[in-house]
Amino acid sequence: MIVKLGLLVILVMALEAKAQLKSGFYSTSCPTAESIVRSTVVSYFNKDPTIAPALLRLHFHDCFVQGCDGSILIAGFSAERNALPNLGLRGFEVIDNAKSQIEAICPGVVSCADILALAARDAVDLSDGPSWSVPTGRRDGRISLSSQASNLPSPLEPVSVHRQKFAAKGLDDHDLVTLLGAHTIGQTDCRFFSYRLYNFTTTGNADPTINQAFLAQLKVLCPKNGDGLRRVALDKDSPAKFDVSFFKNVRDGNGILESDQRLWDDSATRRVVQNYGGKFRGLLGFRFDFEFPKAMIKLSNVDVKTGVDGEIRKVCSKFN
């Protein structure tokens, strides 16, 4: 009996070890994989720096549905990427390009899910943000359904709903605020926040939490009955730089999306915003450039497939 229990413990430990991601997973099987991803992201970034937030968002949306398994990359009518919350996603060609280069030298070794996680890290680094060692070893999922994307956080939802959705992925309030700090780069459409400017909660007035000077600027950018597809920076001060400006904006009533601004209304999330955007950042509070990589590593471990689960796709946009 004792021998059987001992074998069982060893088996469980072996399975746990197998299921863990690790940095440098491809160091012997495909040593140039990470540098290929990096050079590919650099080439696209040099032509269009807005690809950085696109890649970061792509990874986030992937991890929130089916876990970080590359399911967002699958093309097809009923696939995940065609769900309503995913229609604005882009950057797929970057991942496809990197994958084709890697397949040419290391066929069937590197997963699309790992390429996406690495590309998201490189995107942040190229935007003057922090860099970090990405644990790799993910395998690609075999399921991608648009019907499963309903749990993605929406900019129209209150903090309480976001809290539940993040908690379901093992992410707490600190992770929630830290990861939303990715909005320090990137843009959104007027249609996603113009209701805050003109007819907030059907009152005919603007959202009272918007700073009045900023409200005037937003009305110029997004006039009433104007082009709802016009793009507006999520961070009005340094939209191309990965920094703490986003948190200062939320603190000062200059958040673009309602869900971002609501972080200031909730006592738990406000504390984290204050830590990042306050005057004593790095001394009394958390440092965003230190905390963001930790939150990203935590996010990129959500429901990953390892070992014999899933597959290593030959082409990222279709199952083998």
- Tell me the pLDDT tens digit for each residue of 83-137: 999 989 999 999 999 999 999 999 999 999 999 999 999 999 999 999 999 999 9
With b meaning 16 or more CB within 10 Å and e meaning fewer, what string describes 131-155?
ebebbbbbbbbbebbbeebeebbeb
Whole-angstrom distance, CA of residue 222 vs CA of residue 236: 14
Pairing of strands 187-189, 231-233: antiparallel
Residue by residue, what is the 3-state secondary structure of 48-85? CCCHHHHHHHHHHHHHHCCCCCCHHHCCCCCCHHHCHH
pLDDT band at 19 (very low <50, low <70, confident <90, very high): low
Q: Which residue has the tokens 């009152």?
A: 203
The C-alpha R_g of the chain, in whole angstroms, comes to 21
Average pLDDT over residues 156-177: 96
- Distance in angstroms (rounded) separating the CA atoms of residues 231 and 243: 20
pLDDT (average), residues 11-27: 67
Read off φ and ψ for residue 311, nearest 5 degrees: -155, 175
Confidence of residue 6 (pLDDT cuts 50, 70, 90): very low
pLDDT value, residue 286 = 67
pLDDT at 202: 84
Per-residue pLDDT at 8: 43
The per-residue pLDDT of the chain, averaged, comes to: 92
Q: Is 162 a catalytic residue?
A: no
32-88 tens-digit pLDDT: 999 999 999 999 999 999 999 999 999 999 999 999 999 999 999 999 999 999 989
The three-class DSSP label of residue 95 is: helix
State yes or no: pLDDT of 265 exceeds 50: yes
Provide the pLDDT for residue 280.
57
Six token digits for residue 22: 């690790």
Check 59, 61, 162, 183 and give the catalytic one.
Answer: 61
168 token code pair: 């379901």
Answer whether 0.85 is exceeded by the pTM.
yes
* pLDDT more than 70, % of the chain: 92
CB within 8 Å of 26: residues ≥ 6 apart: 33, 34, 106, 109, 110, 114, 136
